[in-house]
Amino acid sequence: MRIFLLFLFFLTVPCQASERIRMTQEFSGEREASELLDSVASAASSGDFNGFIKCFTGKYASGIRRKMKPVISGCDIEMEILDNKVESCDENSIKMRARYSWDNGTEKTMFVSDVVAKMEAGSWKIDSESIVSAKKVNRNPPTELNFGGGGQVAFANAEDLLPLDIARTKGGGCAGGRCVVIQPQATQETPATQEPPVANQALPMPSFDVLPLDISKRPGGGCAGGRCRL
């Protein structure tokens, strides 16, 4: 009986040891790290502060709670995980390098951080973060547009949207000193047209009567103004 029990003991112990070794070798932490970072980004982007703070260990959360609550709850945050790489891990700790963007509506910043996650109360939580680099991103890069007459315009950070081929002139009442000089066009006067004289039409005379010209003027004879019909 004793021999049989010893046989079972030696038969099962190596199996259990090999099983533990196999499980340890298969644990890479990649899936756990990705799920944890995605949970942080999702809570931050949706303004869920309670969900956000639950992604951190109690010790780390107590240090950022007061600072991050107005940011997550009161700002329009957009956080996106761009990449993460697990550098080392075991069953209780994961060390990774994460790259993510953080947009608070005013400016967008690209972060590269060394993150350590630990197992706490049966869940993976972020225990520390060390920022390696932070770079602000230009939200509106200049874009060249074709603008009237073949001119090009710098769309961003421009004082106006007039074509670049219009020279900038100081003063002159021009907005931003950008003016288009319009040359006055010469106007041609149309000569007055004269109607041709009509036959047998009396022309104006410097006299006080308007009798027809075929009535001759005869002095006396009781003719008005000396104009009588023959």
Domain locations along the chain: 20-137, 140-181
Residues 64-102 pLDDT 10s: 999 999 999 988 899 999 999 999 999 999 999 999 999
Q: Which two three-digit tokens encode residue 13?
A: 């112990």
* DSSP H or E run through 132: strand 123-137
pLDDT value for 54: 96
* DSSP H or E run through 67: helix 58-74
- Residues 6 or more apart whose CB falls under 8 angstroms from that of 92 comprise 118, 119
pLDDT value for 52: 97
pLDDT value for 184: 58
> What would the mean pLDDT of 122-144 be, rounded to a whole number?
85
> What would the mean pLDDT of 38-55 be, rounded to a whole number?
96
Please calculate the CA angle 140-141-144 and round it to the nearest 5 degrees: 115
In the numeric block, the tokens 């001759």 are attached to 216
Tell me the whole-structure pTM to 2 decimals. Answer: 0.52
pLDDT value for 6: 44
Please calculate the CA angle 85-87-89 and round it to the nearest 5 degrees: 115
> What would the mean pLDDT of 27-47 be, rounded to a whole number?
94
Q: Are 145 and 162 in contact (CB under 8 A)?
A: no
Q: Are 96 and 83 in contact (CB under 8 A)?
A: no
> What would the mean pLDDT of 136-149 be, rounded to a whole number?
61
> What would the mean pLDDT of 48-74 be, rounded to a whole number?
95
CATH number of 20-137: 3.10.450.50
Question: Is residue 15 over pLDDT 70?
Answer: no
